[in-house]
Amino acid sequence: MQRIAVIPGDGIGPEVARIGVRILESFGLPLRFEWFDFGAERYLRDGTILPPGFMETLRKEFAAVYFGAVGDPRVPGNEHAKGILLAMRFELDLYINLRPCLLFDDRLTPLKGKRRADLRLTFFRENTEGLYAGIGGVFRQGTADEIAQEVEINTRRGVERICEAAFQYAGQRGLSRVCLADKANVLLFGHGLWRRVFAEVSARHPALQAKAMYVDALAMDLIRQPEAYQVIVTNNLFGDILTDLGAALTGGLGIAASGNIHPGRVSLFEPVHGSAPDIAGKGKANPLAMALSGALMLEHLGHPREAALLESAVEQQIERGARTPDLVPFLGGPAATTEQVGEELLACLSSLR
Ligand code: NAD
Ligand code: IPM
Ligand code: MN
């Protein structure tokens, strides 16, 4: 039995997590889902962000974390989100933030004339260092002489392992191109390290085409000719930004999935989107990003057949099923609720089995 920690979190997190878990349970696999109420509500009630020892329990006893979203307007500094989500990414050493941006249906891209075959991007976002390391501080705060600093951490070990993961993924999936996104023309030290290490790693994978680009040029080119890219590897902050862009090219945050992975260890799967306070509680949240994150989790847990089946069901759902309001501009109306989409997806899955 593999134990899965479910952390629905805030806003639409619980609305989509409920459906995601129902879908995963429908496979009848030896998975046990255990629910944890960490998030803004709990934090505001009793001050708990994560209880002592929780990380150790995850490490020793759980196979994965299935995560909704965190973020609540009542916690403006977002300290609980850092203490929950970023803490798990860092302390569990989940160094691969895997974010596929695949076009499930031609109609979902805002790019004129582009089709499914043109948009098959997979991002490898470094997930344990960079500007997210939390190193820095503020001095003379609130005065005219205030100084604020955040330091970008780039380690050879950290850069090498994410580049290696990106090349290996490309090789295993029969892809041919890996692109590095950096800002080595300005950030000479840290991003100079990325360039050198990327070149070293690419030399170990001579069958794959490697190209390094400046992130600003890449952001432009992803819109101009996305078909030129397959696997993109980048640092923590650029990966955060480029993957929202990638989501927008392929149907939006409502269907963008992600994995926070350390191969062979407990890993965390979550939609790319946040808690969406603007639509929370209204039945408008698209549950497909959560469902697709579940498919990534099934694959990590050693159930690739079930993962592929779930992806096919989502594809069919998008093609001809009910849709939440976020997809109506692409696919047409009427709009359905989160629950309706979830129910249909479950039915579609059972017809595929
Ligand atoms: P967001 O992703 O929550 O929302 C951005 C926009 O996308 C909103 O208009 C929202 O309605 C829409 N959207 C998001 N998910 C959707 C879904 N499943 N279906 C339909 N529409 C959806 O980003 P934000 O508004 O910038 O952030 C809100 C809060 O979430 C903040 O506190 C932020 O820090 C947090 N956040 C958390 C995570 C996470 O937990 N991984 C990720 C991003 C943002
Ligand atoms: C994401 C989110 C997070 C990030 C926030 C909520 C800390 O935007 O998962 O993309 O910046 O990584
Ligand atoms: Mn983000």
In which region does residue 209 sit, left (phi positive, over 0), alpha (psi from -120 to 50) or beta (all else)?
beta
Rounded CA gap, 70 and 131, in Å? 20
Query: Is the omega angle on the peptide bond into residue 334 within 30 degrees of 0, that is, cis?
Result: yes
- Residue where the block lists tokens 């993924």: 169
Task: Answer yes or no: is the C-beta of 81 below 6 A from any ligand 2 atom.
Answer: yes
CATH 3.40.718.10, the chain: domain bounds:
1-94+262-353, 96-257
Rg, Å, the chain Cα set: 20
Active site residue 216: yes
Residue 235, H or E segment: none
Ligand 2 mean position to 223 CA, how many Å? Answer: 22
Query: Relative to the alpha carbon of 236, which ligand is closest?
Result: 2
Look at 177 and 353; give whichever has higher pLDDT.
177
Q: Active site residue: 183, 211, 214, 221, which one?
A: 183
Q: What percent of the chain has pLDDT over 90?
A: 99
Instruction: From the options 3.65.10.10, 2.60.120.10, 3.40.718.10, 3.40.50.720, give the CATH code of 96-257.
Output: 3.40.718.10
Give the pLDDT of residue 94.
98
- Ligand 1, atom 5, lies closest to the CA of 276
Rounded CA gap, 227 and 239, in Å? 19
CATH superfamily of 1-94+262-353: Isopropylmalate Dehydrogenase (3.40.718.10)
Q: How far, in Å, are 17, 22, 39, 347 from residue 33 at the CA level?
A: 11, 10, 18, 21
Give the pLDDT of residue 353.
86
pLDDT digits (tens, 9 = 90+) for 161-175: 999 999 999 999 999
- Ligand 1, atom 1, lies closest to the CA of 274
pLDDT digits (tens, 9 = 90+) for 283-316: 999 999 999 999 999 999 999 999 999 999 999 9
pLDDT digits (tens, 9 = 90+) for 93-142: 999 999 999 999 999 999 999 999 999 999 999 999 999 999 999 999 99
In which region does residue 128 sit, left (phi positive, over 0), alpha (psi from -120 to 50) or beta (all else)?
alpha
Q: What is the mean pLDDT of the chain?
A: 97
Q: Which amino acid is at 103?
A: L
Say if residue 28's pLDDT is above 90.
yes
Contact 181, 140 (CB under 8 A): no
pLDDT digits (tens, 9 = 90+) for 241-263: 999 999 999 999 999 999 999 99
